[in-house]
Structure 1
Amino acid sequence: MESKAGKRTVFLTAHTVILVNQGVKLLHFSGHTLEVGPSQAVLLKKGIYVMAEYLEEGVGFEALLLFLPVRLLKALPLPTGCKRPPADAPPYLLLPADELVQGFKAQLRRYFDHPPLALDHLMPLKQQELLLLLGAGHHRQQVADFVAEALSTAPGDLDFLVRAHLLQPVTVADLAQLSNRSLASFKRDFQRQYQCPPRQWLNQQRLAHARLLLQNGHRRVAEVAEECGFENTSYFIRIFKRQYGHTPQDLRAKTTID
């Protein structure tokens, strides 16, 4: 359960359902931001996301995150004939939280205050119940398609994946997991497609973007480093100098003079 507001990058290693009790959950994607309030629920594929919360005056924030293990998804009685969405489809499914889902949220919320003795056995049943409630009526096929994609073990589109996560603090191992590949297979496929090892290519692309930001803005070097996926500013400065022959500060000073 989440109860504190703040913007952060989150790596979801499992597909997830997000239910908001109070406030608004913000999910930032390339080109748009998804707002999720108490009247909605969102199914979110495993991945790396930038999340934040919006709070109205006098209203707190609270959300429930339920992670969906593969064995649970396989057990769902869903329609056949499901289709995989295109590679560039949004990694989420936004659904209305009707009266039954609202009742589910209220009951699940009470478990955090008064945990039942058999909670470990009860939670898989509650996760399955929620998915069946969300997939009732008109949304049954949409939920079935989402689950079919979640259960797929086919390797994901490499170019779309790396570009979607390019400026996030993601490791090569993270990308391999998200693409449904072993680390060795990911490195081999990446080398074949880009004629370059993945870490080298990622750093080159991130540094090029950082250089553009430094030449056309006034943000601090540490802020630029973080925005381009570098969690360690010293490391960023070191490889920036190795790539371009001068430090970010030197580039900023030269750009200011020119």
Structure 2
Amino acid sequence: MQKEQTNRNIILQACEGENYFGHTQFVHEHVLGLITSGVAEHYTPDGVTIYSEGTLCLFRRTQLMKTIKKPAEGKPFTTINIFLSQEILKRYSLEHQVKADRVYLGESNVILENDAFMKGYFNSLLPYFAQPEKLTPTLEYAKTIEAIELLLRNPALKNYLFDFSEPHKIDLEAYMNRYFSYNIPLAQFAKLTGRSLSSFKRDFDKIFRSTPEKWLQKQRLEHAHFLMKQKNKRPSEIYLEVGFESFSHFSHAFKKQFGITPTELHNK
């Protein structure tokens, strides 16, 4: 079970019980996050990165991410996230005359030093989660600006934070073959590949000779079949991993595609 206490840009997230597979896979804004207990496993096509308790990380906007959040040592998974919206960053840039020198081309996810200043900052947020009404919009904005100021102690993060350029048009075929298992709306796939939704659909038809919906489902089912037959994965382990929201939808679509349910295939 996942719980969140939210005041717009500042979130305390708690996942109680067993492992929780995160459904939020499109990162809209930069996020400064501190894992206060538990472990997070972030899955990308390049592999898995494990973030343990105490990890402080900056996640870049406009990217795809899959996460499994795990309790550890008898404690639930909890994290404090500060969302650094483009609106706030542009306002800060204008008021303080801070601008990017160039387009940011570095790592999307940057692990930061959890020094005394950062520890003091996150400790100062904890009382507000017990009494969320005390975190007024004015205080919330001030705490978000404080986070930006703390990050800018590292000059290398200026371009990271203040590069406001949007994704450029990229190779659609290569991108979709790499990220088909991410369950996000088509509009977000379009944005990530530097296209409007209409041009995304038009280009998709030229390349794949199919609609995005049909192609995505076929790719996800074939990948699921491979994972079960070649890797001996259980259907319950993989339906979220390959991009389905519910096991029943996955099972129905799988049987329609292959003439056998995922459970029957696995039992063979």
- TM-score with structure 2 length normalisation? 0.75
Instruction: Report % sequence identity.
Output: 24
TM superposition shift of 1:65: 1.0
Cα deviation digits, residues 131-161 of structure 1 (max 9, x gap): 221220xx322x2232245x22233533454
Q: Is the 8 A contact 1:82 1:148 kept in 2?
A: no
Equivalent position to 1:8, from 8, 21, 24:
21
1:19 correspondence with 2:31: no
TM superposition shift of 1:237: 4.2
State the alpha-carbon separation in 1 of the partners of residues 37 and 233 from structure 2.
Answer: 34
Equivalent position to 2:230, from 202, 209, 216:
216
Q: Is the 8 A contact 1:19 1:64 kept in 2?
A: yes
C-alpha distance 84-106 of structure 1, shift in aligned 2 (>3 A): same
1:111 correspondence with 2:128: yes
Q: Is the 8 A contact 2:99 2:158 kept in 1?
A: yes
Cα RMSD between the aligned structures?
Answer: 3.2
TM superposition shift of 1:107: 1.0
State the partner residue of 2:4: none
TM superposition shift of 1:90: 4.7
1:71 correspondence with 2:71: no
C-alpha distance 123-189 of structure 1, shift in aligned 2 (>3 A): farther
Number of residue equivalences: 247
C-alpha distance 198-79 of structure 1, shift in aligned 2 (>3 A): same
Q: Which runs of 5+ in 2 are unaligned?
A: 1-11
State the alpha-carbon separation in 2 of the partners of residues 172 and 47 from structure 1.
Answer: 14
State the partner residue of 2:144: 127
State the partner residue of 1:45: 61
Cα deviation digits, residues 78-128 of structure 1 (max 9, x gap): 35322331xxx6531221122111111111222222446561122223212
Q: How does 1:99-248 map to 2 (within 5 A)?
A: 99-115=116-132, 119-136=136-153, 139-141=154-156, 143-149=157-163, 151-155=164-168, 157=170, 158-159=172-173, 161-179=175-193, 181-244=195-258, 246-248=259-261
AA matched with 2:33: I
> Bigger CA drift: 153-162 or 192-201?
153-162
C-alpha distance 70-24 of structure 1, shift in aligned 2 (>3 A): same
Q: Which runs of 5+ in 1 are unaligned?
A: none
State the alpha-carbon separation in 2 of the partners of residues 4 and 63 from structure 1.
Answer: 9
3-state SS in 2 of match to 1:83? coil
Q: Is the 8 A contact 1:168 1:228 kept in 2?
A: yes
Instruction: Provide runs of 4+ in structure 1 moved above 6 Å.
Output: none
Equivalent position to 1:80, from 83, 97, 100:
100
State the alpha-carbon separation in 2 of the partners of residues 104 and 62 from structure 1.
Answer: 17
